Structure 1
Amino acid sequence: MPENRTRRLTHGAMMVAIFTVLLAVSTYIPLTSILITWVLPLPIAWYSAKYNMSSSVAVTIAGIMLSFIVGGGFLALPVAFMYAVIGLVLGTMLRLKKNKATIFLATSGAILATFAIVYFAFVKILNINIIQQTLDLSMQSFDTSRKMMEASNVPADQLASFEKQLELMEKTATYLVPSLLVFAVLGIAFIILAVNLPLLKRLKLEVPKFKPFRYMQLPRSILWYYFIVLIISLFVRPEEGTYLYVAILNLSSILTMLLALQGLSLIHFFILEKGMPKGVVVIATIIALPFLQFVSLIGLVDLGFNIRGFITGETKK
């Protein structure tokens, strides 16, 4: 027992030290943060996957406190808090041997929860609204585009049309903040898992295997959600700016993006199933990106009619 306790304390101290050093390097050498940020959860995740919850929470708190003291003060505290908690959740899911979907959802939830806490702390304590500042930067870019058009002496009708497009883009950007936040959270969770799970496997931890992207299959219930949102959009037509309008707009964006991922995975599936070179997959993905609306229709058809079954000749009876 004393030996196990000593080993637990030694490993905890090592992981806290590594976490603090990584955070300090990313804080004081900004260019390194592009790479180091994605492996910040690794030390806490490794420890949390090997030891019980109480020890893991203690190491997480110690990592946050030490990072505040020697890793960059208040500048490093939000980052330390977010990535230490993400590491704790990821490691705990691995220790409990949860499946890949649960790990992804738990990691996404940890990212969203910690971001929400940091966001409200910034608003209440420092009076800094991160989301509003991001929107303001977008509006400034729109204003710059507007001024460039005015300076180029374009015809009045073209300028008026351009003004309407910019106004629509400004409103849409404001309305779509919730869905953009969801996309960002899911994207960050995916990258963190893609980077850290292979590293944790190399560190002799048992990690679940994620199927290749071409086998991605959304629940068929997504079809019902999509059609319900579509019917409300066509027949109810909520007034612009209302809560229902914003909710429908965000749900529509999220569902369209999910269906686009389904369609893109089908394209990957078809190319690889037919034995084409992997380079064709890259080219097809690049070509598909500007046509996500069309790709989402492909995903919709795939969910409804099992196109993969037709490709492999194994359709459902």
Structure 2
Amino acid sequence: MMDSKVVKEGIILAVVYIILLFLTLILPGSELITFFLLPIPFIIFTSRYEWKYSIIFIVLTLLLSMFISVLSLPIGIMAAIGGVMIGFAIKQNLSPYETWARGTVGFVLGLLFVFISIQGLFQVNLFEELKQMIDESLEMSNQMMKDFGFNPSVDVSEQIKQQMYDILNLIPYIMVMIAMVIGFLSQWVSYKVLNKLEKRKLSFPPFKRFALPKMMIWIYFFAYLFTMFSMQPDSMLYISVINIFHLVGFLLVLQGFSFIFFFAEKKGIPKAVPIIVMIFSFIIPVIGLYIIRILGIIDLGFSLKERLNNTK
């Protein structure tokens, strides 16, 4: 028999999830907020109770949600997988960044399930649909330029089209980035809720302590080498390499920003300075983020933070 406390809290969290899901599917614009809140009931429950109770809670909650919409199950499974990964990591007292990594993996799997489910439910090939949209938009743009007296060359049009197709190849990278954002925000809010419920002190460590494994430098280096070889743009190897290259590059940017915050505090520089640096880096990403990435590689490779800590 389940404890009455487990049943009561399970009902409350299930109702909260159903309300959030209803708002997500019915109220336009609400998904910008509710999408990050959907995993939280799963995180809270799985972090507090045994796995067998968690399985019952997940199954019953997902079954109840199916009465709202045909999309309820794919979205629910996405929220449940990511939420369970974070919840069990919290239960095991893993570090915040390791918890975040597990949650990211869970949300990637969940997003893949949503992606496949949408294609199956609506009988559409999303990649082909996106390519068709690109072709139509480029054709419309070329026609408008011709109407204004410009005649774009075929080579330029094909080059632009290929660049747009390259963005489609980065969908896995974009999906991981989305999963990272969902995971971070869901975990952060869950920490706040659990701190209230259980009087705990869960929190992310200061950003200045962010540190990647040193092997990330080698992964980035080899991915960069592979990008220099001639590969078919539609080949699995090419798509894998460019996605790994961009993903690890972004993580190295985070490493670089963390060093800037560390250095600013070490030297007594006002906190506003590193924040301004971040803003300008994203305003001029071609130059700014490239420099920050190099700084991240240097920090990781030469352990700059440790060297500064050991310097009197």
Report TM bin, short chain.
0.7 to 0.9
* 2:12 counterpart of 1:19: no
Match of 1:304 in 2: 301
The 1-side partners of 2:116 and 2:194 are apart by 32
Q: TM-score by structure 2 length? A: 0.85
The 2-side partners of 1:105 and 1:217 are apart by 13
Match of 2:39 in 1: 41
Deviation for aligned residue 1:287? 0.7
Deviations for 1:77-97, whole angstroms, at most 9, x for unmatched residues? 322232233333322222222
Match of 1:107 in 2: 103
* Aligned partner letter, 2:241: I
Deviations for 1:238-293, whole angstroms, at most 9, x for unmatched residues? 34443333332222222222222222222222233332332223211111122222
Deviation for aligned residue 1:139? 5.2
Q: Is the 8 A contact 1:139 1:170 kept in 2?
A: no
1:269 is paired with a residue whose SS is helix
1:30 is paired with a residue whose SS is coil
1:203 is paired with a residue whose SS is helix
The 2-side partners of 1:62 and 1:119 are apart by 23
* 2:222 counterpart of 1:228: yes
1:12 is paired with a residue whose SS is helix
Deviations for 1:104-145, whole angstroms, at most 9, x for unmatched residues? 122112212222223223323431344554555555555554
Of the three residues 265, 269, 279, the one matched with 2:262 is: 269
Match of 2:247 in 1: 254
Match of 1:173 in 2: 167
The 2-side partners of 1:296 and 1:209 are apart by 26
* Aligned partner letter, 2:9: H
* Aligned partner letter, 2:297: L
Match of 2:182 in 1: 188
The 2-side partners of 1:311 and 1:151 are apart by 61
When structure 1 is superposed on structure 2, of 51-60 and 198-207 the one drifting more is 198-207
What's the RMSD between the two structures over aligned residues?
Answer: 2.8
Deviation for aligned residue 1:173? 1.1
The 1-side partners of 2:88 and 2:3 are apart by 19
Q: Is the 8 A contact 2:127 2:168 kept in 1?
A: no
Deviations for 1:18-57, whole angstroms, at most 9, x for unmatched residues? 2112222332222333222222222222222221111111
Going from structure 1 to structure 2, the CA distance change for 1:95 and 1:131 (only over 3 Å counts) comes to: farther
The 2-side partners of 1:154 and 1:310 are apart by 58
The 2-side partners of 1:56 and 1:205 are apart by 22
Q: How many residues align?
A: 308
When structure 1 is superposed on structure 2, of 137-146 and 213-222 the one drifting more is 137-146
Question: What pairs with 1:41-190 in structure 2 (closer than 5 Å)?
Answer: 41-69=39-67, 72-130=68-126, 132-134=128-130, 136-137=132-133, 140-154=136-150, 162-190=156-184
Deviation for aligned residue 1:205? 6.0
The 2-side partners of 1:219 and 1:27 are apart by 39
When structure 1 is superposed on structure 2, of 255-264 and 200-209 the one drifting more is 200-209
* 2:263 counterpart of 1:282: no
Deviations for 1:170-193, whole angstroms, at most 9, x for unmatched residues? 231132222222222222222222
Q: Is the 8 A contact 2:134 2:161 kept in 1?
A: no
Unaligned runs of 5+ in 2: none
Q: Extract structure 1 runs of 4+ deviating beyond 6 A.
A: none
The 1-side partners of 2:253 and 2:24 are apart by 35
When structure 1 is superposed on structure 2, of 282-291 and 167-176 the one drifting more is 167-176
Q: Is the 8 A contact 2:82 2:107 kept in 1?
A: yes
Match of 2:238 in 1: 245
The 2-side partners of 1:192 and 1:134 are apart by 29
Unaligned runs of 5+ in 1: none
Going from structure 1 to structure 2, the CA distance change for 1:150 and 1:31 (only over 3 Å counts) comes to: same
